[in-house]
């Protein structure tokens, strides 16, 4: 089967979740024998990054950039102008869009032309989040279209059903990540050094936005200050909430035990994970801004870290309580987070058991080929 993956983001110039998942999907389909071509946003720095990627011969598949600049404002027009012609020329057996955004351009193709089946990944706020009237209209068009929706959680299945998508058009797929053994060897100076002597180092990896729950974790750490005086919190990632979080750490009197590392290259994240003792991220819903899944839980578990998550949207299914980690019932409650944290901090045997559970979960169902097999099965069923 020859497949086109259409994605707004690609790792040559982005390290976001959609970009990372796009590469894992491409790898998984390739490993399962599919012919893979990736179509992504091009123009300007993106075009240069894709050219550099081709020179480095980093991918066993073709990556094509759709020309265009100012994608934030003109993205729909760029997709309309460039995507249909690329698809018509290659005539793939099926198309997989990693978000709904490029799909209106695929639906605008000549109705007389042969139309391969289209599968669309649904995540979280891409479906539930607020949008401009124009984007909301485009999203509704895709929700009404005869496409196959690929979801990682029961929560997202229910969200699609509530929006009128027929049950037979929704297919469950496993969450998958890159093999940790393939991680690069780049390092970040001082990242998670052991000079503090902290016996327990907890880690959060993610964009610094309110829904991720960094603020509640900081307050939980403050509650544990006397009971766990050597607990250290490493925060990897950047975003608009950073200044507020840094002020909060100062106000709580824990700034010496919290390290805001900022942006860390994907190639260096492996060291951050491996130097930590546990992973924590307790997202909450902020309006329509939701955590669709949280591949970072799987990344942490694959490296043997116990994880702490929350009962919020799709993130509730990313953690298997008692198997790969623990879940906080109320992600807005610092005392609830502190209670779960304390449980892991005080019990090294539990940390080890949950970490092993995370590693086994990755080996048994979280590799690229698991995702590739599932997507191929879904596409073959509708072809």
DSSP letters along 291-313, please? ----HHHHHHHHTT--EEEESSG
Mean pLDDT of 233-245: 97
CA end-to-end span of the chain, whole Å? Answer: 10
Please indicate, yes or no, whether residues 164 and 194 belong to a single structural domain of this protein.
no
Confidence of residue 267 (pLDDT cuts 50, 70, 90): confident
Please indicate, yes or no, whether residues 375 and 249 belong to a single structural domain of this protein.
no
> How many structural domains compose the chain?
2
The whole-angstrom separation of Cα 252 and Cα 244 is 12
Please indicate, yes or no, whether residues 344 and 360 belong to a single structural domain of this protein.
yes
The whole-angstrom separation of Cα 147 and Cα 190 is 48
Please indicate, yes or no, whether residues 123 and 253 belong to a single structural domain of this protein.
no
What is the residue whose two structure tokens read 């102008």?
A: 81
Range of the domain at 332: 181-365
Residue 315 confidence (pLDDT) above 80: yes
Residue 246 confidence (pLDDT) above 90: yes
- Residue among 114, 169, 160, 153 at smallest CA distance from 309: 153
CATH number of the CATH domain containing 165: 3.40.50.2000
| 65: β partners | 40
> What's the pLDDT score for residue 303?
96
Q: Worst-scoring range by mean pLDDT, 95-104, 184-193, 258-267, 333-342?
A: 184-193
Please indicate, yes or no, whether residues 218 and 268 belong to a single structural domain of this protein.
yes
Confidence of residue 313 (pLDDT cuts 50, 70, 90): confident
Confidence of residue 238 (pLDDT cuts 50, 70, 90): very high
Please indicate, yes or no, whether residues 235 and 263 belong to a single structural domain of this protein.
yes
Cα dihedral across residues 162, 165, 167, 169: positive or negative: negative
> What's the pLDDT score for residue 196?
44
> What's the pLDDT score for residue 111?
60
Please indicate, yes or no, whether residues 154 and 216 belong to a single structural domain of this protein.
no
Q: What is the pLDDT of residues 93-121, one digit of tens each?
A: 999 999 999 999 999 976 656 789 999 99
pTM: 0.92
Q: What is the pLDDT of residues 178-221, one digit of tens each?
A: 999 765 544 344 444 444 444 799 999 999 999 999 999 999 99
Please indicate, yes or no, whether residues 207 and 240 belong to a single structural domain of this protein.
yes
């Amino acid at each position: 089967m020859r497949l086109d993956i259409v994605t707004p983001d690609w790792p040559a110039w982005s390290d976001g979740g959609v970009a990372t998942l796009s590469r894992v999907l491409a790898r998984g389909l390739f490993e399962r024998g599919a012919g893979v071509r990736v179509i992504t946003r091009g123009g300007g720095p993106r075009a240069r990054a894709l050219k550099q990627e081709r020179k480095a011969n980093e991918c066993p598949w073709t990556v094509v950039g759709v020309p265009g600049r100012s994608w934030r404002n003109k993205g729909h027009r760029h997709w309309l102008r460039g995507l249909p012609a690329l698809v018509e020329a290659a005539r793939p057996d099926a198309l997989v869009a990693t978000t709904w955004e490029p799909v209106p351009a695929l639906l605008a193709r000549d109705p007389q032309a042969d139309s391969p089946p289209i599968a669309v990944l649904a995540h979280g706020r891409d479906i539930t989040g607020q949008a401009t009237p124009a984007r909301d209209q485009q999203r509704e068009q895709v929700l009404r279209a005869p496409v196959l929706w690929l979801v990682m959680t029961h929560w997202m299945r229910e969200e699609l059903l509530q929006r009128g998508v027929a049950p037979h058009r929704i297919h469950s797929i496993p969450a998958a990540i890159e093999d940790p053994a393939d991680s690069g060897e780049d390092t970040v100076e001082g990242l998670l050094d052991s000079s503090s002597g902290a016996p327990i180092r907890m880690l959060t990896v993610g964009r610094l936005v309110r829904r991720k729950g960094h603020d509640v974790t900081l307050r939980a750490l403050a509650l544990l200050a006397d009971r766990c005086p050597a607990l250290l919190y490493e925060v990897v990632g950047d975003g608009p909430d950073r200044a507020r979080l840094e002020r909060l750490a100062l106000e709580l009197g824990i700034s010496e035990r919290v390290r805001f590392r900022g942006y860390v290259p994907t190639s260096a994240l492996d060291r951050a994970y491996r130097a930590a003792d546990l992973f924590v991220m307790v997202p909450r819903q902020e309006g329509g801004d939701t955590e669709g899944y949280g591949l970072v839980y799987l990344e942490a578990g694959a490296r043997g870290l116990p994880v702490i998550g929350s009962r919020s949207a799709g993130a509730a299914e990313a953690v298997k309580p008692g198997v790969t980690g623990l879940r906080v019932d109320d992600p807005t409650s610092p005392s609830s987070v502190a209670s779960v944290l304390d449980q892991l901090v005080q019990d090294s045997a539990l940390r080890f058991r949950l970490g092993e559970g995370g590693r086994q979960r990755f080996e048994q169902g979280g590799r690229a080929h698991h995702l590739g097999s599932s997507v191929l099965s879904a596409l073959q069923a509708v072809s």
